[in-house]
Structure 1
Amino acid sequence: MHSSAEIRTIDGKQVVKIEITRGSRRPYHLASKGMKPSSVFVRHETSASAASDEAIRQMIIESDGTQYESMRCINQSLTFHETTQLFEAEGLAFEATQQRTLGIINSDNYYTNLGQLLADQCEHSIKAARYSLFLTVSCFLFSRH
């Protein structure tokens, strides 16, 4: 966060004015609770209220952009038991280093939406197919009569 403080005289009294500007990695939240309304608050003048799921999503978009896979996932309590087993079956490591390389964890150590797609908590069906492609090039000669 970026902040500044100064002493001002207002009505003959010295007061401390503290100004805090908006940071770039919103939403700010309690790490122990994750990015959900019970731990993300929106300030309105002198009061604060819980942020809605939509407000949280908008703050993530403003901070991370709109590339779905690299955006921070709202659920930061992900597990990867099944994915780890699949990697191990292929003789591949699936530790934090590999998860960062693959984009499952971002540079701020948050899980991304790509991570959610590979997590045990994924609610989506993912289907993939692998095809062998044989390219046949045929040349045809056409003649005009």
Structure 2
Amino acid sequence: AFATFSHTDVVPVVKVGRLHVAELFHGPTYAFKDFGQQVLCRLIDYFAAKRGRKALLLVSTTGDTGPAAIRAVQGLGALEIVCFYPQGQISELQERQMITVDSPNVRVYAFEGDGDDMDAPIKSVSTDSALKESREVSSVNSINV
């Protein structure tokens, strides 16, 4: 899960004065969310493949979740991701981290509105019984809580 991290220790701990600091920026998107997303997405992919099914991850992001989830899903065999972000409300770096990924299992869409505007549609789609018959559907947003 951590092969794409830039440091061989994955989370190097460096001493700064009397403090020890964990460097959580060595993942593919330089965000701490890379740690959880890399593991979670590989587990979803593994169990979907084991059941002979496809899985769909729906994400709405205003920050680091989208890029981290996309990079974690990129190239996996049983997991696809559809990621939505509010146009003009994320950093240029985060937008580029998402829209430049060239992978058949990754789709990214901008929408008009703010970050919370996609929560209800994603929740509605993720509970759609017809869609759930064809694939596992999940999200990595707070709507899962």
What TM-score results when the alignment is normalised by the length of structure 1? 0.22
Tell me which of the two structures has the higher relative contact order, counting C-alpha pairs closer than 8 angstroms and 6 or more residues apart. 2
Which structure's residues are more often strand, by fraction?
2
